[in-house]
């Protein structure tokens, strides 16, 4: 839980609350700033918990394109005895999911 609290400190909660209230998002403009701030922190904690519990689902369902843009370029890996290798091949110039092709030398 301490790690989440440190992550929350990275947000400027006062500005976030102000924006939520100015836009009237989910009727935040009718609520006290402290209540909006507490709700945002609880929502953020539940989001972090969701990511921790099911990272593959979360990434797949929340703008996976942004995730791929932060991955390093594909690499080629060979086993020491060179009998099996895994080749990672990018389909297009845009960052898309890589296809893994496994070949075995007979």
Q: Which residue has the higher pLDDT, 25 or 87?
A: 25
Span 63-76, mean pLDDT? 71
Residues 58 and 75 in one domain: no
Residues 43 and 89 in one domain: no
Residues 34 and 78 in one domain: no
**Confidence bin at 73 (pLDDT 50/70/90):** confident
Phi, psi of 102 (to 5 degrees): -105, 130
Residues 57 and 7 in one domain: yes
Q: Is the dihedral of CA 35, 41, 47, 53 positive or negative?
A: negative
Residue 3 has pLDDT above 80, yes or no: no
Range of the domain at 46: 2-62
Residues 54 and 97 in one domain: no
Residues 42 and 75 in one domain: no
User: Domains in the chain: how many in total?
Assistant: 2
Span 31-57, mean pLDDT? 92
pTM above 0.85, yes or no: no
Residues 48 and 80 in one domain: no
């Amino acid at each position: 839980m301490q790690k989440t609290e440190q992550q929350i400190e990275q947000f400027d909660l006062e500005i976030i609350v102000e924006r939520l209230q100015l836009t009237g998002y989910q009727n935040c403009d009718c609520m006290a700033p402290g209540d909006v701030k507490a709700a945002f922190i609880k929502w953020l904690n539940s989001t972090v918990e969701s990511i921790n519990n099911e990272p593959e689902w979360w990434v797949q369902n929340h703008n996976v394109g942004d995730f791929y843009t932060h991955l390093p370029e594909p690499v080629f890996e060979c086993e020491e005895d060179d009998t099996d290798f895994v080749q990672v091949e990018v389909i297009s110039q845009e960052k898309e999911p890589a296809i893994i092709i496994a070949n075995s030398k007979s």
